[in-house]
Amino acid sequence: MKDIQFKRAWAMPSKHTFEIKPIKEFIESNLTPGVILNPFANRSKYGITNDLDPGQETDYCMDATDFLKKYDNESVDFILYDPPFSPRQVSECYKSFDMTVNMQTTQSSYWSKQKIEIARILKPGGKVITFGWNTGGIGKTKGFKIEKILMVAHGGWHNDTMCTMEIKV
């Protein structure tokens, strides 16, 4: 049984998560070959990209849950999961694209549905890196084991970014 690896780094905050130096290094040191999905890509170019924002140059421009549903069971090797971290962020994002904000988009079911899809489409032994304000990741109850955690402190009153790398067992 492997021990969880934990690392702490410091960097200025940015809405472009994958451009933050220690996060970029964490992603690149854990990437595996094969089918890589990036359902909240923003301007990141890792893997097959998707973003709700039609202004982003991504492969797809759709809701992340719908994007994940496109894939067959156990057909994906690696997922970068960088959703909005809070109900407020989801609400602001949806409103900025004149989309409906309701209970389904601002309650925990928003993330739960995506995590169910991630558990369904990731191959056994596949990896997912989840970004957020906690290390909950996809979760043990869905068949995942935490391997590494990177905590990026942004200083002052900014929330830290937690990067949790899990393997589907």
Higher-pLDDT residue of 156 and 167 is 167
The domain locations on the chain are: 5-168
Higher-pLDDT residue of 89 and 2 is 89
- The predicted model gives 91-120 an average pLDDT of 74
Q: Which superfamily does 5-168 belong to?
A: Vaccinia Virus protein VP39 (3.40.50.150)
DSSP state of 90: H
pLDDT at 96 over 70: no
Q: Global pTM?
A: 0.88
Lowest mean pLDDT among 47-56, 104-113, 142-151: 104-113
Percent of the chain with pLDDT over 90: 64
- Provide the pLDDT for residue 111: 81
CA atoms of 126 and 34, how far apart (whole Å):
10
3 state SS of 84: coil
- Provide the pLDDT for residue 10: 82
Q: Which amino acid is at 113?
A: K
Closest among 110, 165, 118, 111 to 142, alpha carbons compared: 118
- The predicted model gives 2-29 an average pLDDT of 85
DSSP string, 28-47: HHH--SS-EEETT-TT--SS
pLDDT at 1 over 50: no
Higher-pLDDT residue of 74 and 108 is 74
- For the stretch 67-71, contacts whose Cβ atoms lie closer than 8 Å and that sit 24 or more positions apart, written own/partner, are 67/37, 67/39, 68/37, 68/39, 68/114, 68/117, 68/118, 68/121, 69/117, 71/37, 71/117, 71/121
- Provide the pLDDT for residue 27: 97
- Provide the pLDDT for residue 48: 98
Q: Are 51 and 95 in contact (CB under 8 A)?
A: no
